Amino acid sequence: MNVEIITVGDELLLGQTTDTNSAWMGLELARSGFSVSHKAVISDEPMHLCDALDAALGRCRVVLVTGGLGPTLDDRTKPTLADYFGVPLKLHEPTLKAVRAYFDRRGLPFLETNRLQAELPDGPGTAILPNPLGTAQGMWFERDDSVVVSMPGVPHEMKGLMTNEVIPRLMERFERPFRYHRTVLCFGRGESYLSQQLGDWEAGLQERGVGLAYLPSFGQVRVRLSAVGSDEAAVRALVDGCVEEAAVLLAPYVASTRWEQASEGLGAALSESGLQLAVAESFTGGAIAAALTSVPGASTWFRGGVVAYSEAVKESQLGVPAAVLKEHTAVSAPVAEAMALGVRERLGADWSVATTGYAGPGTTPEIGTAFISVAGPSGSTTTKEFHWGRSRDVNIQRGVTEALHLIWSQLREANEDCQKKVV
Amino acid sequence: MNVEIITVGDELLLGQTTDTNSAWMGLELARSGFSVSHKAVISDEPMHLCDALDAALGRCRVVLVTGGLGPTLDDRTKPTLADYFGVPLKLHEPTLKAVRAYFDRRGLPFLETNRLQAELPDGPGTAILPNPLGTAQGMWFERDDSVVVSMPGVPHEMKGLMTNEVIPRLMERFERPFRYHRTVLCFGRGESYLSQQLGDWEAGLQERGVGLAYLPSFGQVRVRLSAVGSDEAAVRALVDGCVEEAAVLLAPYVASTRWEQASEGLGAALSESGLQLAVAESFTGGAIAAALTSVPGASTWFRGGVVAYSEAVKESQLGVPAAVLKEHTAVSAPVAEAMALGVRERLGADWSVATTGYAGPGTTPEIGTAFISVAGPSGSTTTKEFHWGRSRDVNIQRGVTEALHLIWSQLREANEDCQKKVV
C-alpha cells in the first residue's frame, strides 16, 4: 500500500533544517506494510500545499503531512487543510484543557497564540489525534476513500503521533500486502566490486521477485534485499534465502546479516560476551564514543573514553610516552598503539580502540592520513594506516566506520579462536 | 530565481538513508541567489523520474537531480535522462581515462561496470561536468531555456560538483535578484514565547518586505529574517536593521546574531580569548566533544575530554571522590561539579563542562534527570539541573545544546566582568 509524505517548511527548502523525519517515517511505515512512494518538500505558502495534495491524491490514497502547525504566524497548514476539506475550525475543549495543562506543568505562561492551537477542524470525516508531547494536535481527514493526516514537524512529537495514532489507524483502515527486507552489511569493498561478485545471481533476482539495492556510506555498503506478497511466510522465506546466498557470494566482505549498523552489532557482540570497551580518540574527536552511546543499553558494555585532542592530553591521560610522540609524531602507528593500550589499562576495559590522524581541512600533504589501533584482552594490538582525502567531515565519518569495523572484526576473530580451542 | 531538487533512490523513500544533500544544496544555492522552491524524493523507477521532471519543469526553469548514477543495476537515472532529452549515450574518452586512473590510483581492479560509467549523453544542449572525486560524472541538459543537471548522490561528490561546476554555470546562465538572510540564535524560551515578545513588530514585517521564520530545535530557536531584491546594499541594510531590532526585543534570550550554531560561536569566543576548553561527559557520551570537534580549527581551543560512562572511570580519570559518588549517586550536582573541576585540572584547560544524567530509554522516574556543570578559570562552578522526557536521543541532544549554551554564556559573563574591571 503506497503512502506519500508532504513536508511543509521554508527552513527545509532553504536548508537550515535537515529532514530526518521522513527517513524515520519510511522505516516505520515499511514495518507495518506501507511503502513510501513519493516525498515532497514544499514552502509555507498555502497554495503550494493545495497543489501538492492534489498531485499526491492523484497517485495514492494516503498522504501524511508534517510541519507548519506551530503557534507562530509563519505556520499555516491547519487553516489550509480545513479549507481544502471544507470543514470549519472550532474550539476543541479537550485540547484546550491539555494545552493549558502542558504550560502549567512547565510553569510557563499560557498565551493567546497557544489558545488558537486548540481551534481544530470539526466536521464529517475529520478526527483529532491527541499529541501529549506538544501543543499542536494531529489531524485526520478522510474523503472519497482517501486519507490525509497532518502532524507537527517536531521529531519526537511526530514520532509519538505516528506510533500511537497514525500507524494503528492506517493498519485498521487499509489492507495491504506483506513487505519484508533484510540487509547484508558489507565492509572493505565498494558497491561496484560487490555487484561484480554477485554477477548473474543479481541479474536473476528480478525474475524471483526480489529487489536489490546498494546503500553505500563511507567505508561500508549495505546490500538491501526486499520482497512483497500476500503470504507472509513465503515472502520471509524468499528474502531469508536470498540473504544467505548473498552472504556466501560476498563472504570475505560481510560484517553481518543481522545488524544494519556496526555500532549495534558491536554492542551486541560485547554484551553477549560480557566484555567492556574503551575508546581513545584524537581526530574523531568523540564521534566514536557518541556513535557507541547512541545505542540504548551501551552502559553495560561501554566503559568510557578519552578525547585526546592535544599532545599533552595524550601524555597525561593515556600515558603515551613523550619520547614516542617526539620520535614518531602524534599521527603515527606507535602513538595509536600507545593510546589504545593506555586507555584499555587506565579505564579497565577488555578491548579498546584508538584513533590519531589529520582530519583537515587544509592543503598540507599529511591531511587524510590516519592510524587506528585496537588492543585486546591479550594486550596485543592491531593497527591500520589510512590515506584519505581532504574533507574533514568525511575523514571523521570514515574514521568512525573503520574503527567500529576493526574492533568488531577483531572481536569475531578472538571468539573464533576461542571456539577452536574449546573444540 | 527558483530551483527544484529531485532526489532519486528507493533507500531514501524506505528511510534507510537520511537525505542530508538537499539541505546543503539549499544553503549553497541561497548564497548564490537561487531559491529552492520544491523538493521531490522519488523511487528508482524510470517512469517516476520522467513524471517528476514534467512537474518540475512546469513550475521552474532549473531542476537539479541527485542520485541513481551508481555503477550497479538498480541505478537508472543516466539512460532515463538521455531518453527524456532524446540524446544518445556515447563513450566519453576523457571520462574513461579519468575513471581508469581513479581505479589505478587506489590499486583496485577496473571492471566492465566501471567502463559503462564513461558512456555519457552526447548531443546539442548537453555537457559533461567532470567529477574527480568519483566515477559518475555530472550531466547538464539544456532545452527550451530550461536546465536539468544530474549529479551523483554521494554527498562529497555532489558537493564538489555543485561548488566547482553547477553553481558557477548557473550563475553565468541566469540573472537573479539578491537574497539575504540572517539568524538570531535564541536560547531559553520556545517559539511561541519569542513570537509573543516580538508582537506587533513581527506582524509589520510583511509590509516591510521581510520574511520571518522560527527554526526550533531542542533547547534553542533560530529566528531567521530574510529579504529579496535587486539592490544588494538595500536588501542587506533592511535585514541587518531587522536583526538589530529583533535582538533588542528578544534581548534576554539572544545567544548570538552572528553565529547559527552554538559550537561555532563558542569556538570563536574561546579562540579570540586564547582560552582552552575540556569536557567530561557521562550521559551525552561524547556527543559534546563530537559537536565541538566538527568545527574546523577546534584543535586550537579544544583540549580534549573524558567520556566517563561508568562510576569507576569518573573516579579514576576525573578524580570524583568515591564518597561523593556514594553519598549523592552518580547523577547529582556534586558529581557534575567534581567532574567539571576534575577534567579542567587534569587536562590543563581554562574552562570545562561536565554532564551526568539518565538518558533513557526506560520507565523509571529518574529518566530525563540531568546535571550540567561548568567550571571556569577562577575554579568556581555553575551547575544546572534538568528534568526532561524519556527519549534517549532527545535527552542527549538537549544535553549537548544546554552544555554548549551554558559554557558560552559563562564565557560571555566572564568577558563582561573583565571589561568592567579594565574600564
> Residue B142's pLDDT is what?
95
| Residue finishing a domain among B206, B241, B256 | B256
Given a cut of 60, whether residue A413 has pLDDT beyond it is yes
DSSP-derived secondary structure for A154-167: SHHHHHHHIIIIIH
Helix (H) or strand (E) holding A373: strand A369-375
Decide if B188 touches A, using CB distance below 8 A. no
Q: Both A210 and A169 in a single domain?
A: no
The residues with which B277 forms a beta bridge, in sequence order, are B302, B351
Could you tell me which residues come within 8 angstroms of residue B253 by beta carbon, excluding any fewer than 6 positions away? B186, B187, B188, B189, B194, B197
Tell me the count of A-B CB pairs closer than 8 A.
326
A211 plus A110 within the same structural domain: no
Smallest Cβ distance to B39: which of A13, A35, A396? A13
Nearest to A74 among B108, B109, B213 (CB): B213
Test B15 with A35 for CB contact under 8 angstroms: no
Cβ within 8 Å, pair A304-B313: yes
Partner-chain contact A285 B293, CB within 8 Å: yes
Mean pLDDT, rounded, of chain B = 92
Rounded-to-integer distance, Cα A246 and Cα A183, Å: 10
A318 shares its domain with A275: yes
This prediction's pTM: 0.79
Q: Are residues A162 and A197 in the same domain?
A: no
Whether B307 and A285 lie within 8 Å, measured CB to CB: no
Claim to verify: residue B285 and residue B248 sit in the same structural domain: no
The pLDDT of residue B421 is 60
A266-290 pLDDT, tens digit each: 999 999 999 999 999 999 999 999 9
- How crowded is the C-beta side of B153, counted as CA atoms within 13 Å? 30
Residues A212 and A331 both lie in one domain: no
Q: Is B18 on the interface with A (CB under 8 A)?
A: yes
pLDDT tens-place string over residues A44-84: 999 999 999 999 999 999 999 999 998 777 788 999 999 99
- Chain A nearest-CA distance from B69, in A, is 12
Q: Is A397 on the interface with B (CB under 8 A)?
A: no
CATH number for position A214? 3.30.70.2860
d(CA B315, CA B310): 9
My answer on whether B207 and B148 are in the same domain is no
Which residue out of A36, A191, A307 would a mutagenesis test of the B interface target, given it has the greatest number of B Cβ atoms within 10 Å? Answer: A307
Chain A residue with CA closest to B133: the answer is A389
Q: Which residue of A has its CA nearest to B160?
A: A391
Of B139, B173, B207, the residue at which a domain comes to its end is B173
What is the value of ipTM here, to two decimals?
0.76
DSSP state of A34: -
The strand pair at A178-187 and B146-151 is best described as unpaired
Using the beta-carbon criterion (under 8 Å), do A290 and B292 form an inter-chain contact? no
Average pLDDT over residues B27-52: 92
Q: Looking at the structure, tell me whether residues B302 and B336 fall in a common domain.
A: yes
The B residues from 235 to 264 touching A (CB cutoff 8 Å) are 260
Is pLDDT at B411 greater than 90 in this prediction? yes
The answer to whether residues B83 and B64 touch, using CB atoms and an 8 Å cutoff, is: no
Residues of A in contact with B12 (CB under 8 A): 23, 26, 39
Task: Output the domain CATH number for residue B385.
Answer: 3.90.950.20
CA gap A268, B205 in Å, rounded: 54
Give the minimum alpha-carbon distance from B191 to chain A in angstroms, rounded to a whole number: 7
**Band of the pLDDT at A421, cuts 50, 70, 90?**
low
Alpha carbons B287 and B294: distance in angstroms, whole number:
10
pLDDT of A420 > 70? The answer is no
Taking an 8 Å cut-off on Cβ atoms, the answer to whether A12 and B39 are in contact is yes
Nearest to B71 among A135, A195, A307 (CB): A195
- Residues of B with CB below 8 A from A289's CB? 281, 285-286, 289-290, 307
Q: Is B47 on the interface with A (CB under 8 A)?
A: no
Percent of chain B with pLDDT over 70: 99
Place of cell 536583526: B243
Contact call for A192 and B114, based on CB within 8 A: yes
Q: What is the pLDDT of residues B336-386, one digit of tens each?
A: 999 999 999 999 999 999 999 999 888 788 999 999 999 999 989 999 999
Per the structure, the count of domains in chain A is 3
In whole angstroms, give the CA distance from residue B4 to residue B26: 10
Q: How far apart are the first and last CA of chain B?
A: 50
Task: Give chain A's radius of gyration (CA, Å).
Answer: 26
β-pair type (B369-375, B351-357): antiparallel
Any long-range contacts for A125-130 (C-beta under 8 Å, 24+ apart)?
Answer: A125/A85, A125/A87, A126/A85, A126/A87, A128/A92, A128/A94, A128/A95, A129/A161, A129/A165, A129/A166, A129/A169, A130/A94, A130/A95, A130/A98, A130/A165
Domain boundary among A256, A272, A303: A256
CB A379: neighbour CB atoms within 10 A?
A: 9
Domain, as residue range, for A161: 2-173
B212 touches chain A (CB under 8 A): yes
Determine the average pLDDT of the residues in B143-163.
94
Q: Would strands A277-281 and A351-357 be described as parallel, antiparallel, or unpaired?
A: parallel
Tell me the pLDDT tens digit for each residue of A104-156.
Answer: 877 778 888 788 889 999 999 999 999 988 889 999 999 989 999 999 998 88
Q: Are residues B321 and B339 in the same domain?
A: yes
pLDDT at position B65 over 90:
yes
Higher pLDDT, A178 or A271: A271
SS3 state at B167: helix
pLDDT for A170 equals 95
Helices and strands per DSSP (H, E), number in chain B: 16, 17
Q: Do A193 and B72 touch (CB under 8 A)?
A: no
Average the pLDDT over B30-41 and give the result.
Answer: 90
**pLDDT tens track for B281-328:** 999 999 999 999 999 999 999 999 999 999 999 999 999 999 999 999
- Please tell me which residue, A279 or A391, carries the higher pLDDT value: A279
Report how far residue A129's alpha carbon sits from residue A168's, in angstroms, rounded to the nearest whole number: 12
Distance between CA atoms of B47 and B42, rounded to whole angstroms?
10
Amino acid at A103: F
Q: Does B36 touch chain A (CB under 8 A)?
A: yes
Are A285 and B303 in contact (CB < 8 Å)?
no
The domain that contains B108 carries what CATH number?
3.40.980.10
Q: Are residues A192 and A317 in the same domain?
A: no
B264: which chain A residues are within 8 Å (Cβ-Cβ)? none
- Cis previous bond, B361, omega within 30: yes
Residues B142 and B103 in one domain: yes
Q: Alpha carbon of A398 to those of A19, A118, A287, B110: distances in Å?
A: 23, 47, 11, 23
Model pLDDT, residue A107: 75
- Which residues of chain B lie closer than 8 angstroms to A29, CB-CB? 15
Are B19 and B113 within one domain? yes
Query: Which residues fall within 8 angstroms of residue A164, CB to CB, at 6 or more apart?
Result: none
Going by C-alpha positions, the residue among B306, B289, B297, B290 that lies closest to residue B271 is B297
